[in-house]
Structure 1
Amino acid sequence: MLMAEHYHVGLLVLAASLGNILGACVNWFLGRFIAQFEGRRWFPVTRKQVAKAEGWYRRYGRWTLLLSWGPIIGEPLTIVAGVLREPFPVFLALLTVAKTARYVAVAAVTLGWM
């Protein structure tokens, strides 16, 4: 947030959020179309791992996408949402809330608002 001295904080939050949202959308599209390659030797996960992720996502539902802002679990969540064909408008809405809230919180903490 050192840039906040030279740029409007809202624009910085918007730019960071948009970049993160676009990256997650790429993950959703990869998840949507990568399942056709399952079973190939180079495929990065086993069927058992895919089934476990699917079960977890089905159990806790689309609301888990609100955790997509977090490290480690955020990227796999967006891919699994694509694999399980989460409707893109719902995916995008939940993702926008999560990713934007993340950067608003970062800005608030960095600037001493909290």
Structure 2
Amino acid sequence: MVLSCLMLFAASFLAATILPFSSEVILFALLREGYPPFVLLATATLGNTLGSFANYGLGRWLLHYRDRRWFYFSGEQIDKGQRWFQHYGFWVLLLAWLPVVGDALTLVAGVMKVRVWLFLLLVAIGKGLRYLTILGLSSWWPL
């Protein structure tokens, strides 16, 4: 069980970073194998939240590399994220679970120097609700 949870944690972490990855398939497979849903929810949420925190760190400390060719986000994506923050405020971090846009939002949160505790709280709530929804919907999926 520990190895499976570590695999889910790693997949969830990578899925939240700027690297293209998905954790839902592993979550779904472990759920079907009979792992406790609460353990899977906690593991996936923690991994995904910490992966978003890596993006936050990129935004906070590595933004001066944004003009480099290898930098993942375009200037246009960063500007769009900053506009979202200015318009909606830090509450937009509840949407950090969204594909691509969520990664940009967490990076922009670092740029905007959102308080770490607020960042972690809002991102964890959004990502936890996302995984909870996936677990709930998985009961409708045929074996």
With normalisation by structure 1, the TM-score equals 0.84
| Alpha-carbon distance change, 110 to 33 in structure 1, aligned in 2, over 3 angstroms | same
Q: Name structure 2 gaps, 5 residues minimum.
A: 1-27
Counterpart Cα distance in 1 of 2:130 and 2:88? 21
Higher relative contact order (CA 8 A, sep 6+): 1
User: 1:78 Cα deviation (Å)?
Assistant: 0.2
Counterparts of 1:95-110 in structure 2 under 5 Å?
Answer: 95-110=123-138
Q: Is the 8 A contact 1:34 1:83 kept in 2?
A: no
2:36 is aligned with 1:8: yes
Distance in 2, Cα, partners of 1:41 & 1:86: 24
Aligned: 1:23 with 2:51: yes
Match of 1:60 in 2: 88
For residues 50-77 of structure 1, the C-alpha deviation after alignment (integer angstroms, 9 at most, x for no partner) is 4443233111110111111111211000
Give every structure 1 segment of 4 or more consecutive aligned residues whose post-TM-superposition deviation is greater than 4 Å. Answer: none
- Which structure has the larger Rg over C-alpha atoms? 1
CA offsets per residue over residues 73-111 of structure 1, 9 Å max, x none?
Answer: 110000000001000000000011001000000000102
Aligned residue pair count = 110
Output the TM-score relative to the length of structure 2.
0.68
Q: Which amino acid aligns with 2:29?
A: L
Distance in 1, Cα, partners of 2:68 & 2:102 = 26
SS in 1 for 2:60: helix
Quote the Cα distance in structure 2 between the aligned partners of 1:3 and 1:23. Answer: 20
Whether the 8 Å contact between 1:32 and 1:83 is mirrored in structure 2 is: yes
- Aligned partner letter, 2:30: M
76-85 or 66-75, which deviates more: 66-75
> Share of identical aligned residues, percent?
35
Asked if structure 1 preserves the Cα contact closer than 8 Å seen for 2:84 and 2:92, the reply is no
Alpha-carbon RMSD:
1.9
Return closer, same or farther for 1:100/1:52 CA change in 2, 3 Å cut-off. Answer: closer
Q: Residues of 2 paired with 1:52 and 1:3: CA distance?
A: 36
